[in-house]
Chains A and B, each alone.
Chain A
Amino acid sequence: MRKYGFIFSFLVVPVILYAIFVISPYLQAFYISLTNWRGISANPQFIGFENFTRLLGDDVFWAAVRHHAVLLVAMPLITIAIALFFSFLLNVGGGSKSGKMAGVRGSKFYRVVYFFPQVLAVAVVGVLFQAIYRPDNTGVLNGLLELVGLGPVGWLIDTNLALWSIMGVIIWQGVGFYVVLFSAGMAAIPSEVFEAAALDGAGRFRLFFSITLPLIWDTIQVGWVYLGIAAFDAFALVQVLSVDRGGPDNATTVLPLEIWRTAFTFSKFGYASAMGVALFFLTITFAALSLRVTRRERIEV
């Protein structure tokens, strides 16, 4: 009993804080999504599911959901692919040296460099890429293209390109973290395995696909879930980089941005909460699916 008292006394404060600051706002948001509250006075009118039926016919909402779908598929795939490639080079790519697997020359230096973008605040990254993506020849990227005689590209003003340009920034910033994550996974693989394979004549390609990838599969799954959840955000970068906050023509808008705009620009807190509830269910669904997939993998292995 004394043991439980001890544990209980440690848990009670965080649980109360969690209930007050996380659970209760969630519950209230569910209620507010059923009202037409405009965020100013405290007399919201109950309107049932009207906000949700309106969501179904809201083009901007669906544009945002579509963009999350694109982000959810493309962003983790590209990020993980790049991160795997880099971390393989950093850990195994150099081949066997005096009985130990080593990375390419200078791998310690690269590891630090890859991590730099992760350290920068999103705000800084956004401002930085404003200059990189600027659509005329004063932009860094377009300036480089001009040197090789290519015309300026409208990175953020081309409706087909804008979302991918922003995704590029997210990937650029995220890759370093996953390089470190996967490096840790690879470091945990016994080096004898690699050496044995190398002695049998396996090349780098074979080492990667037959040995490294299967043995760090769990780590990759963790990365996938992290990246999936990140795909539901993207607010700050879209806010800073996109034309007219989510444009051009809604080509880059995301749900958090629409929630923000609906609440603070349109003063429609009820409707914004309905979007928030929709986002909540999208996130929950994704998390549940990911966990399920992970579990099945475990059973199979």
Chain B
Amino acid sequence: MTNSAGSPKDITRRQMLRRIGLTALVAGPAGGMLAACATGGGSSEASPSAAPSAAATSAQNPFGVKADAALEVVIFKGGLGDGYAKDVHEPLYKKTFPNATIKHVATQQIAQTLQPRFASGDVPDFIANSGTDLMDNGALQSEGQLLDLTPLFDAPSIDDPSKKIKDTILAGTVESGLIAGKPFILNYVSSGYGLWFNTKLFQEKGWTPPKDFTEFKAVCEKIKAAGLTPYAYAGKNASYYQYWMILITAAKAEGNQVLLDIDNLVDGAWLKDSVKQSAAAWAEIGKFIDKSYEGLIHTEVQTRQNQNKVAFYPSGSWLENEQKSNTPAGFEYAVAPTPSLTPSDKLPYEAIRVAAGEPYIIPSKAKNTAGALEYARIMLSKEGAKGFTEKSGSLTVVKGAAEGLSLSPGIKSLNDAIGAAGDNIVTYSQFENWYKELETELRKQTNSLMFGRISADEFCSNMQKKADSVKADSSITKQNRTV
């Protein structure tokens, strides 16, 4: 859901049908079938399938992949599509290991597809764990289901074997995938977050993106007078677009420490002045949103922006690609950093959130873990990354892989913004993956705040209450991050 760069999505009819199937599963009435899953798991744990007798390792084959071992790749097919895997990475793998068979599975429902397989021990080799229904990585790790990716990041790069992979990717990538101090997640996509707008429209009307909240309100008044909705997000299924903005503004005011404290469930983290003031400032902007946007889904709001009915839309760098087929001529995406809270903010206005996102994982009990590691190494080569950017329109964490590619206006503006930000980078929030309950609560409270049902103080105290209850819940494994 949240972390997934790309992909809040509509509920399609097919998904609905599946969900109704699940009602029968879960609801009917005593959660009885959940138990059936449990039985499945009972016997399987004892038999972690032994890795197929590994081949010898070499410079070309650092993980000792057995050349004819089958590989199963499960890809979340959301905003990024699955063409990058089917048409780029899998063929590249085939080129190295022509005798290997690759099974490609594309799904929009990772958890429903894979949870039973984890419970029964029959797991695929490589997973893009993304989308609204992704599996809880923290829970997977605490049950010993995830492969430690340290060997991957220490392996030689395909492009330059004298370098380790971790030296060919953006700083912070490895850290973004740490659970309990070890890298279990490969966050592959580099996403930038901010306020998206139509450059052409803004030039024509003489509007400029705001640098602080005073300017923000002023420009919103002007836009409103021109008959547009100044600012909007989709409350029905994408309120996280909005809570990102609240968190980014807080981090700009106080520095990234506030995000660390929130992730680490530090007592009183949500009650800090930076969070309160950010929530209050955004609630003021909420007054410019038409009430009806709480009941719309993200594609409906995006469409309204494409029709120049909405001026600013908070989102990430996948937006332009997601809207490619609907963007009319004369619409040119650009991104502006989230506005500053006060002149005494720790980070300058130019600071922008750039984070490695879109988590890929390898199950520790997969049949072909060596093959999966090699597959990830291919993804992290320049050729693999370039192909990904071409197919998905998103930048990867691989340094310099976008060189020579002609970038779209939105991505180009993001690249410029990242250049202007320099070292002033707002980091990612991990609680979205670690503690789904806290994340769900934040969605609810964000809608309440932005649509005027609660005050900033209530927002903060409600969030703190939930954070405290998660902290007190012994069944949830606590995580910690220092970077």
Could you tell me which A residues sit within 8 Å of B by CB distance? 21-22, 24-33, 36-45, 47, 121-124, 126-127, 133-136, 152, 154-157, 159, 232-233, 235-236, 239-240, 243-244, 247-250, 255-256, 259-261, 263-273, 275-277, 279-280, 283
Contacts and interface: CB of A to CB of B under 8 A. Distances in A.
Given A40-B118, A243-B295, A244-B444, A263 B27 contact: no
A237 B357 CA distance: 32
Contact of B42 (A42, A154, A271): A42
B316 interface: no
Contact of B474 (A28, A36, A124, A156): A36
A260 B23 CA distance: 7
Nearest to B31: A276
A259 B26 contact: yes
Contact of A236 (B20, B34, B136, B296): B20
B290 to A, nearest CB: 7
A30 B30 contact: yes
Nearest to B11: A240
B111 A264 contact: yes
Contacts of A134: 292, 295-296
Interface in B281-330: 290-292, 294-296
B32 A276 contact: yes
Contact of B34 (A40, A123, A156, A263): A263
User: Which 3 residue pairs spanning A and B have beta carbons closest together?
Assistant: A276-B31, A28-B35, A25-B32
B366 to A, nearest CB: 15
Given A32-B38, A36-B474, A236-B20, A42 B32 contact: no
10 contacts: A22-B32, A26-B32, A135-B296, A236-B16, A244-B444, A247-B444, A249-B453, A259-B31, A276-B32, A280-B29
Contacts of B41: 41-42
Contact of B294 (A30, A243, A265, A276): A243
B35 A273 contact: yes
Interface stretch (B84-92, B197-205, B232-240, B246-254): B232-240
Interface string B29-51: 11111111111011011000000
B69 interface: no
B119 interface: yes
B39 A28 contact: yes
A157 to B, nearest CB: 4
A265 B135 CA distance: 7
Contact size range, B: 35 or more
A20 B447 CA distance: 44
Contacts of B29: 232, 276, 279-280, 283
Given A28-B36, A39-B119, A244 B17 contact: no
B475 interface: yes
Given A25-B34, A133-B295, A244-B443, 14 more contacts: A25-B32, A29-B30, A31-B35, A36-B474, A38-B143, A39-B37, A43-B45, A157-B235, A235-B23, A239-B16, A243-B447, A261-B440, A266-B440, A279-B29
By CB atoms of chain A within 10 A, which of B11, B39, B112 has the most?
Answer: B11
B168 to A, nearest CB: 33
Given A243-B447, A244-B239, A248-B294, A267 B32 contact: no
A235 B27 CA distance: 9
A276 B27 contact: yes
A135 B295 contact: yes
Interface centre among B26, B31, B143, B296 (most CB of A within 10 A): B31
Task: Name the residue among B27, B38, B118, B143 with the largest chain A CB count within 10 angstroms.
Answer: B27
Contact of A260 (B22, B118, B139): B22
A120 B283 CA distance: 41
Contact of A243 (B33, B35, B139, B235): B235
A20 B318 CA distance: 47
Contacts of B39: 28
A273 B34 contact: yes
Interface string B98-124: 000000000000011001001100000
A250 B30 CA distance: 22
B413 interface: no
A259 B23 CA distance: 9
B136 to A, nearest CB: 4
B294 A157 contact: yes
A28 B295 contact: no
B151 interface: no
A41 B34 contact: no
Contacts of B290: 136
Contacts of B237: 244
Contacts of B37: 39, 269
Interface in B134-167: 135-136, 139-140, 142-145
Interface string B441-483: 0011001100101000000000000000000001100000000
B45 A41 contact: yes
Quick one: which of A41, A155, A256 has the most chain B CB within 10 A?
A: A41
A279 B27 CA distance: 8
A244 B136 CA distance: 19
Given A39-B119, A127-B16, A135-B292, A29 B34 contact: yes
A255 B30 CA distance: 11
B294 A41 contact: no
A123 B13 CA distance: 6
A267 B145 CA distance: 14
B31 A273 contact: yes
B9 interface: no
A189 to B, nearest CB: 36
Given A41-B145, A267-B436, A28 B23 contact: no
A250 B38 contact: no
B345 interface: no
A38 B32 contact: no
B44 A42 contact: yes
B35 A29 contact: yes
Given A255-B27, A265-B436, A135 B119 contact: no
Interface string B2-30: 00000000010100110110110011011
Nearest to A32: B35
B19 A239 contact: yes
Given A123-B16, A136-B290, A29 B436 contact: no
